[in-house]
């Protein structure tokens, strides 16, 4: 943040109950780099998690616009300036902005993927696209503070999907402006928060997300069906993570949960696919020998 070309910002750092000296390190950095803002410890009575911490930061912030930066991500030096340029141009027409992202490997620094959307740099209604896929990285987003308050802040009952819920609800109320410049670098670690979860965790969060969407009363039946399909499709990705990181017992535990929650077709499809792949891999090893 100290390298930003636009210095007109405040930094709100919210510590989520760290057991080390993170707060002291953050406070020292604020002083060393002459940053305006404050470091806050999440009150023990507040729910643990990123949603709760973001809400605390949003409510504490004194400015009208909120930009998010997760602890292991990086802003390009011109990130805030480019965003402010767009706010000056379009801020009267919309309350949401985001930009392109580079995902990189934490160990090597190599680019994994450039997430650049096919959107014009003008106010655009993206809701119909969002119900089919969450393509927005949290650390690329800037929102009008009053708009966040209008939707009731981040849903603290959700963990890992609270951002998607927010983007969907925001998109029901305003258009977005997109910048194709890569202004955020998203760090990918083998043991990252989202990469290190068990298979059942992702499935439970998808169930919770759909429950929140239905109970909000804001979404049409067709919207919910599209979101459901997207979540089901993404389950395959987390199944691969489960097998590679935790092994077959974790994968099968998730498959069991899918059967219990009425998703027998999806469970059978994933089970057949990964059993077949496992058999093929074993056969290839035998042939090589």
pLDDT of the residue at 175: 98
Give yes or no for residue 205 having a pLDDT over 50.
yes
Residue 285 vs residue 33, higher pLDDT: 33
pLDDT of the residue at 289: 52
CB 62 within 8 A of CB 98: no
Residues 6+ apart with CB under 8 A from 247: none
Q: Which two tokens stand for residue 71?
A: 């602890």
Residue from 286, 288, 284, 287 nearest 276 by CA = 284
**Least confident stretch, 80-84, 98-102, 185-189, 267-271:** 185-189
* CATH of 11-188 given 3.40.50.10860, 3.10.310.30, 3.90.550.10, 3.10.50.40: 3.90.550.10
Q: How confident is the model over 148-160, as a mean pLDDT?
A: 96
Q: How far apart are CA 229 and CA 131, in angstroms?
A: 9
Strand 142-144 relative to strand 111-115: parallel, antiparallel, unpaired? unpaired
pLDDT range class, residue 284, cuts 50, 70, 90: low
Domain positions in the chain are 11-188, 199-288
Give yes or no for residue 5 having a pLDDT over 90.
yes
Mean pLDDT, the chain, rounded, equals 92
Give yes or no for residue 283 having a pLDDT over 80.
no
Give yes or no for residue 193 having a pLDDT over 60.
no
Give yes or no for residue 186 having a pLDDT over 90.
yes
Give yes or no for residue 248 having a pLDDT over 90.
yes
pLDDT range class, residue 91, cuts 50, 70, 90: very high
pLDDT of the residue at 245: 87
pLDDT range class, residue 287, cuts 50, 70, 90: very low
Residue 216 vs residue 276, higher pLDDT: 216
pLDDT of the residue at 190: 65
Q: How confident is the model over 51-77, as a mean pLDDT?
A: 96
Handedness of CA 142, 145, 147, 148 (dihedral sign): positive
């Amino acid at each position: 943040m100290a390298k930003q070309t636009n210095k007109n910002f405040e930094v709100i750092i919210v510590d989520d109950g760290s057991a080390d000296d993170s707060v002291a390190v953050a406070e020292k950095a604020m002083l060393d780099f002459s940053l305006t803002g404050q470091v806050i410890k999440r009150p023990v009575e507040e729910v643990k998690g990123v949603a709760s911490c973001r809400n605390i930061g949003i409510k504490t912030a004194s400015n009208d616009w909120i930009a998010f930066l997760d602890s292991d991500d990086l802003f390009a030096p011109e990130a805030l300036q480019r965003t402010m340029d767009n706010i000056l141009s379009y801020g009267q027409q919309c309350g949401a902005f985001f930009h392109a992202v580079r995902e990189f490997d934490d160990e090597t620094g190599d680019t994994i993927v450039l997430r650049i959307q096919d959107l014009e740099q003008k106010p655009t209604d993206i809701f119909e696209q969002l119900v089919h896929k969450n393509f927005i990285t949290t650390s690329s987003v800037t929102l009008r503070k009053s708009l966040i308050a209008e939707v009731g802040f981040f849903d603290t009952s959700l963990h890992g999907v609270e951002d998607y819920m927010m983007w969907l609800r925001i998109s029901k109320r305003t258009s977005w402006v997109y910048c194709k410049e890569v202004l955020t670098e998203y760090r990918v670690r083998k043991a990252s928060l989202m990469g290190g979860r068990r298979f059942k965790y992702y499935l439970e969060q998808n169930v919770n997300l759909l429950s929140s969407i239905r109970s909000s009363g804001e979404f049409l039946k067709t919207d919910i069906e599209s979101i459901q399909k997207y979540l089901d499709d993404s389950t395959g990705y987390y199944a691969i993570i489960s097998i590679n990181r935790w092994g077959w017992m974790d994968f099968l535990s998730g498959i069991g949960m899918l059967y219990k929650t009425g998703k027998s077709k999806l469970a059978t499809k994933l089970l057949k696919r990964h059993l077949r792949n496992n058999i093929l891999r074993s056969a290839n090893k035998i042939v090589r020998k």
